[in-house]
Structure 1
Amino acid sequence: MGALLATAAMTMTPSLALAQAKAAAFPGGPVTLIVPYAAGGLTDNLARALGQRLTEKWGQPVVVDNRAGGGTVIGTAAAARAPADGHTLLVTSFGFTTNQFMVRNLPYKQSALEPLALISVAPSILFVHPSVPANNIPELVNYMKSSPTPLTIASSGNGSSPHIAAELFASMVGTPITHVPYRGNGPGINDLLGGQVQAMFDSKASLSYVKAGRLKALGVATLQKSSQAPDLTPIAQAGVPALSKFATGSWFGVLVPEGTPREIQNRLYTDIRSILETKSMQEAIDRSGTEPALMTQAEFAAYLKAEGEKWGPVIREKNIRPD
């Protein structure tokens, strides 16, 4: 028996040594970051900030490839079909979690991409027009329950994170809403400013309108205080028991094709993590309006699993479909 084990160890050692040598030599050429969104957006900006620093670290070009369309399905499918050698990564966001519930006949399996590293998160803030007679979450809920017409809540599109956040909020407080989808955050915020709609979940970027007195911010959708909006009360702590677990927002992270060798994944994670811990990258994340959220690879995988378990029932109950 001992001889057999010794023989097995000897036969495995060259393979292990080869794998470790490949990881040490990685990357052996250009690396592509597929972004399933248009250039200039938040996910794209974060990918480019990360890619620039990976280029400097590796001495190899790291190219951002924008594959927008299909509600992120086109770019995600391209990444899922890529060789599992670490030279093609997917930098994506919220839609990766929700498309499995919203899109029929996805051209890829959810398991075809493995979570690698979380870059940052962006908690949502609930904004309302000044005409809404509420200055905090309890007052808003009371208004929603007493108003003869449902609150009109804008979003950046059917199936977007602001849309699903609004549906979750309404479901938890047991009050209907009228959802008004737009083609992006900008048009939705413009109509909120004009009073055509009454509320919208958005990022901290719209806090400038609060300072100008054009909107009211009633709370941030986190369980604890947010560094991105330290003056706002977390909706979960606002005093409405039904909302005690309300937390929503976007996440931004890196995934790799299924089957990418573990040694390569470890090398990728270590290098990306080291960049995420630098001051320059954290400043880039802060400028994006998001906040760093360092996790191990296992923690990131568990986080995405929990996101799916949270959003799946809401999407099915409300029969949410993307634009």
Structure 2
Amino acid sequence: MRGLKAVFAGAVAGAVTIFSAAAAFAAWPERPVQVIVPWAAGGGTDATGRIIAKMLQDEFKKPFNVVNRTGGGGVVGHAAIAQAPADGYTIGVITIEIGTFKWLGQSNLSGSKDFTPIALYNFDPGAFYVSNNSPFKNAKEVVAALKANPKVYKLASGSAIGGAWHMAFGSILLKAGVDPGQFNWIPSQGAAPALQELLAGGTDIVPCSLPEAKALLDAGRIRAMAVAGDQRLPAYPNVPTAKEALGVDVLAGAWRGIGGPKGMPAEATSKLVAAMEKIHKSEEFRKFMTERGFGLMWRAGPDFAKFMDESEADSGKVLKAIGLSKAS
């Protein structure tokens, strides 16, 4: 009899344990979730991170609190995401810089190795520009001139050296058969000062995103040669892709996605993926992104992991060609 009671008690205890675990997963999130943004408040990454946090909060009826963790060119914030407890209560915005840290000798952090990929939601392809009085009328003329006389022309980075726009233009040049390491790149503190330098004649070519150059494009003060995307942007129908302009396939620019520490519970991850897909398809989110000039791109789970790995490999090729890579 005692044996039967013990078996019964054990079965009940086991059932309670299984039920409790299932209930805990089913209830996620039971408390506030921290959303780490690796860049400063007020920037593009912060803006997109905050709208996503607000919409996740609306979806799950629990606070999703944005915390800006800046420093180290994005290393501090990305490390904070990767090193957080993998319980589903810390997630964050992962950006293109995660694929550059090891090449630049800043950190050993890597996308799919150190993070649980949830969803890529944004991609802004890089483009490159000349002033309205430049002799170059199209991208082929630019590439031909750079091949023939690489030391004559001044190229701005459009971002920090090794940043998104520097690498995007470097990718275009590399695919077009031009060694990007032979140029004297002029460092930029951002797209706006680089474009002003272009107008002043201090540089000949500037790379950055199309939205950042919109005012000068609309005013006819600069000309866009090509964009490193797989299709023309609806808001800029007259700007050809690198494929159209140069015959090379290039997908290079800045991107943003949501991820968490490696090893997050599958239940929390799957709920976040489903919620992010719902957000990405919503009129509210798409309007927010397009009105501010952010490009939309969707990759979820394993597809986002693959995207991060490919982005890191491409970054390595470009940074090596430019001469900035500290990794083998």
Q: Structure 2: how far apart are the matches of 1:199 and 1:20?
A: 58
Partner residue, 2:138:
136
Q: Does the residue aligned with 1:295 lie in a helix, a strand or coil?
A: strand
Amino acid at match of 1:164: M
Question: Are residues 1:112 and 2:119 paired?
Answer: no
Q: For residues 135-284 of structure 1, what are the structure 2 equivalents within 5 Å? A: 135-147=137-149, 149-154=151-156, 155-172=158-175, 173-175=177-179, 176-205=182-211, 206-238=213-245, 240-241=246-247, 244-284=248-288
Q: Out of 278, 286, 289, which is 2:290 matched to? A: 286
Q: For residues 8-23 of structure 1, what are the structure 2 equivalents within 5 Å? A: 18-23=20-25
Q: Percent identity?
A: 27
Q: Does the residue aligned with 2:299 lie in a helix, a strand or coil?
A: coil
Which region of structure 1 is more displaced relative to structure 2, 137-146 or 75-84?
137-146
Q: Does the residue aligned with 2:119 lie in a helix, a strand or coil?
A: strand
Alpha-carbon distance, 1:130 to partner: 2.4
Alpha-carbon distance, 1:142 to partner: 2.0
Q: Does the residue aligned with 2:196 lie in a helix, a strand or coil?
A: helix
TM-score by length of 2: 0.86
Which region of structure 1 is more displaced relative to structure 2, 197-206 or 44-53?
197-206
Q: Out of 312, 317, 320, which is 2:316 matched to? A: 312
Gaps of 5+ in 1: 1-9
The answer to whether the Cα contact below 8 Å between 1:220 and 1:229 also exists between their aligned partners in 2 is: no
Alpha-carbon distance, 1:16 to partner: 6.5
Alpha-carbon distance, 1:15 to partner: 6.9
Q: Does the residue aligned with 2:231 lie in a helix, a strand or coil?
A: coil
Q: Does the residue aligned with 2:47 lie in a helix, a strand or coil?
A: helix
Amino acid at match of 2:183: I
Amino acid at match of 1:82: A
- Matched residue pairs, number? 309
Amino acid at match of 1:158: I
- Pair 227,266 (structure 1): closer, same or farther in 2 beyond 3 Å: same
Residue by residue over 1:47-85, the C-alpha shift from the partner in whole angstroms, topping out at 9 and shown as x without a partner, is: 011111112222222111111110100111111111111
Q: Does the residue aligned with 2:206 lie in a helix, a strand or coil?
A: strand
Q: Structure 2: how far apart are the matches of 1:223 and 1:62?
A: 34
Q: Structure 1: how far apart are the matches of 2:231 and 2:244?
A: 8
Amino acid at match of 2:99: T
The answer to whether the Cα contact below 8 Å between 1:126 and 1:219 also exists between their aligned partners in 2 is: yes
- Pair 11,166 (structure 1): closer, same or farther in 2 beyond 3 Å: farther
Amino acid at match of 1:251: W
Q: Structure 1: how far apart are the matches of 2:234 and 2:125?
A: 10
Alpha-carbon distance, 1:116 to partner: 0.9
Q: Does the residue aligned with 2:220 lie in a helix, a strand or coil?
A: coil
The answer to whether the Cα contact below 8 Å between 2:172 and 2:242 also exists between their aligned partners in 1 is: no
Q: Structure 2: how far apart are the matches of 1:80 and 1:168?
A: 28
